[in-house]
Chains A and B, each alone.
Chain A
Amino acid sequence: MLTIDRVGGGGLALVALWMLWESRRLPLGSWREPGPAAMPTALALTALTLGVAIVASGAAAARLEAAGWGGAHRALIIVGACVFLALGLERLGYRPTVLVTLLVLVGVVERRGLLPAAVFAVAVAWGSFFLFNTLLRVPLPRGPFGL
C-alpha cells in the first residue's frame, strides 16, 4: 500500500542513491584527510538510511490518495505560469512576460473578467517595473521590444 511516508522516504532514498553515484567522480580522500567526495558520500548514506527507515515505518501513515490532491490541477497550472515566467523574462522582457502571465492566471484560470484582469496585469507589470527598476535601481530585463 502506498502511503505518504513510503513515497516521501522512497524519494529521499532515490536522491541519496543518485548523489552516491555522482560522488564517485570526485576524490574520496582518506579517513584522516577527507576529500571533496567524503562529506557528500557521508550525507548521502545518512539520507539513504533515513529514507529507508521512513519507508520501513511508513505503513501506518496516511494513504497517498488521502493527501488532498484536489488542488493539484490548479497547482500544475501555476507551475506552468512560473515556467513561462522563467522562459520569457529574458527573451520577451519583464513587462510583456508578467502581463501575459497575469492575464492568463487572473482572466482565464480565475475567470475574473478580461477587463479587470487586464487592468490588474498592466498595473502590476508596469508598477513593479517602476518600483524595482526605476526607484530601487534593480535592473530588470527589457527583451527585444525594449519593454
Chain B
Amino acid sequence: MAETLQNLALGFGVALAPGVLLYAFVGCLVGTLVGVLPGVGPLAGISLLLPATFGLDATRAIVLLAGIYYGAMYGGSTTSILMRIPGEAASVMTCIDGYEMARRGRAGAALAIAAVGSFVAGTLSVVALMLLAPPLANFALRLGPPENFALLLLGLLVLAYMSGGSMLKSLAMASLGLMLGMVGIDPMSGYFRFAFGVVELGDGIGVVPLAVGLFGIAEVLVTAGKPTPPLVQQPRLRELLPSREEWRQSVGPIGRGTLLGFLIGIIPGSAHIISSFVSYAVERRLSRRPEEFGRGAVAGVAGPESANNAATSGAFVPMLALGVPSGPIPAVMLAALMVHGVSPGPLLIQQAPALFWGFIASMYVGNLMLLILNLPLVGLFVNVLRVPYGFLYPAIVVFCVLGVYAVNGSMVDVWIAVTMGVLGWLLRMLQFETAPIVLGAILAPLLEMSLRQSLAMSDGHYGIFVTRPLTATLLAVGVLLLLLGLRASIARGLDWRGRLALAEKGDQS
C-alpha cells in the first residue's frame, strides 16, 4: 500500500505539471463537447484527435485521449436530460428519467445528480483501477502464447455475448472484423495477403480509418435522414441544486452504479453501454416504487450515469495491465500509445511508471475538472446544440476525412474510411452492430500470431490448448458463453441482450 501511495505521488507530480494539466483540461472540454453533440461518439472523437497528439509525448497524448473518453460520458447526459437525445450510446438509459425530470422542472437537479454521480463513480473507479492493474499485470507476465490465444478468443466471445441483440449477428460481425484483420503482410512468412498490389495495405487496415469510417462517417449517414431534434429544455442556474430528498435517493444508486460499472467495464464488450442498462434494471428492481421509473425517478439518472463513468475506468484495466483492449475505444487508445512507441501490457508499469501513474493521477484531476465544467457551464454546452445540424454534419465529415488523412498522410486510409463509412451505414440500416468489427480487426493479427506460436511450442499438437489449466479454463468459459448466447437465439422470448437491443432501438426512434 505504501508503495502504491508512493507511486501515486509520482503520478501527481506528472499530472499536475502545467503542460499535462492543460492537455487534461482540453481533453475534458473536447470530450464534453463530443458527448453533448449527437452523432459524434467518444470513439469518433478520439480517432479524429489522434493525429493532433503526434507532436506530444506519450503521457500528454494518453491524458488528452482519456479525457475525451470520460468527458464524453459526462457530456452525454446533458442532451439526454435536456433533449431526450443521447449524446452518445451510453446515455440512452438517462434519457428515460432524466428527460422526465426536466419536463417536471427538475432539469438542473437531474444535471447536478448526473454530474456528481459521474464524479463519484469516476473517482472511486480510478482507485479500483490503481489497486487492480499492477497485480493483474504481474500475473499476466506468466502467460504464454496459448493463454494469450485463449484470452483473445474469450474476449471476442464475451464481446459478442455482451452486445445487445442477436449473438449470431454479433459473432458474424466479429468474424468480418477478423477477416479484415487478415489484410497485410503475414508476419511469419512475409506473404502479402489481400493487398491487391496496394503497398500501403502491407501494414494492414489501420484502426483509425476503420473506426472513423464505421463510427464517424456512418453515424453522419445514418443521422442524415432523421427529422429535426426536439426543443431543448432550459435549466436555470439556481435550479441546479437538488433537494435533500433527491440527494438521499441518489446515494444508493451512485454506489451500486459505481461497483457494477467498474466490474462490467473490465469485461470486453460495449461496457459503458451495457453497464448503464444493467444499472437501470437493478435500480428498478430494488426500488420500493418501481412505478416511478419512466416518470422521472432520481435513481434512473444517478445509477446509469455513475455506471457508465465507472465502466470507462474499468475498461482501462485489461488495456493497461494485459495490453488487451476490452472494446473499440480502448483499442484506439492502445494504437495511440503504440504510435508513441509505448507498448501497453504487463511490462508497462515497470518500464514506464511515470506514464502509468501520471495517467492514473490525471484521471483524478480530470474528474474534478469535469465536475467544475459540467455544472456552471451547462448553459454554454447547451448552446452548442443550437448549431443547426445542416452546418454541423458537413464539418464532421470534413474532420473525419482530415483526421484519417493526418495519421499517415495516406489517401488509401481516406478511401478505407469512406468505404467503411458506407459499410457501417448499410450494416446499421440492417441492424448489425459494428463495434465487434473494430475489435475483430485489431485482435486478428494477435490471435493468429499466438495460435501459430502455440503450435510451434507444441510441435504442432493442438493438445496444448487443453493440457494447460488456464488455457483450458478460458476456452471452456468461452464455449459456455457461446452455448448460452446461442440458446437464447433458439429459445422463445427475450433474454437481457434482446431487451437491451429493444431499449436502445426504442430510444433512438
- Which A residues are closer than 8 A to B by beta carbons? 4-5, 7-9, 12, 15-16, 19, 22, 26-27, 30-37, 39-40, 43-44, 46-47, 50-51, 53-54, 57, 61-62, 67-75, 78-79, 81-83, 85-86, 89-90, 94, 98, 101-102, 105-106, 110, 112, 120, 124, 128, 132, 136-140
Known: A4-B431, A8-B427. A74 touches B224 (CB 8 A): yes
B409 A50 Cβ-Cβ under 8 A = no
A75 B224 Cβ-Cβ under 8 A = yes
Residue with the highest number of chain A CB atoms closer than 10 Å, among B409, B430, B461: B430
Give the docked Cα–Cα distance between A9 and B168 (Å): 10
Give the docked Cα–Cα distance between A9 and B188 (Å): 32
* Total CB contacts across the A-B interface at under 8 A: 177
Q: List 10 A-B contacts (CB under 8 A).
A: A8-B172, A36-B191, A39-B182, A40-B179, A50-B168, A71-B225, A74-B225, A82-B401, A128-B399, A136-B54
B411 A124 Cβ-Cβ under 8 A = no
Is B55's CB within 8 Å of the partner chain A? Answer: yes
Give the docked Cα–Cα distance between A124 and B397 (Å): 12
Give the docked Cα–Cα distance between A128 and B411 (Å): 18
B225 A72 Cβ-Cβ under 8 A = yes
Closest to B428 in A: A67
A82 B418 Cβ-Cβ under 8 A = yes
Give the docked Cα–Cα distance between A74 and B175 (Å): 30
List chain A residues, Cβ under 8 A from B186.
36
- Which B residues are closer than 8 A to A by beta carbons? 51-52, 54-55, 168-169, 171-172, 175-176, 178-179, 182, 186, 188-189, 191, 193-194, 217, 220-222, 224-226, 388, 390-391, 393-395, 397-402, 405-406, 409, 411, 414-415, 418, 421-422, 425, 427, 429-432, 444, 447-448, 451-452, 455, 459-461, 489
Closest 8 CB pairs of A and B: A71-B225, A32-B460, A110-B390, A105-B394, A36-B186, A47-B175, A8-B430, A75-B221
| CB < 8 Å neighbour of A75 from B52, B191, B225, B414 | B225
Give the docked Cα–Cα distance between A53 and B166 (Å): 12
List chain A residues, Cβ under 8 A from B176.
12, 15, 47
A50 B390 Cβ-Cβ under 8 A = no
A8 B169 Cβ-Cβ under 8 A = yes
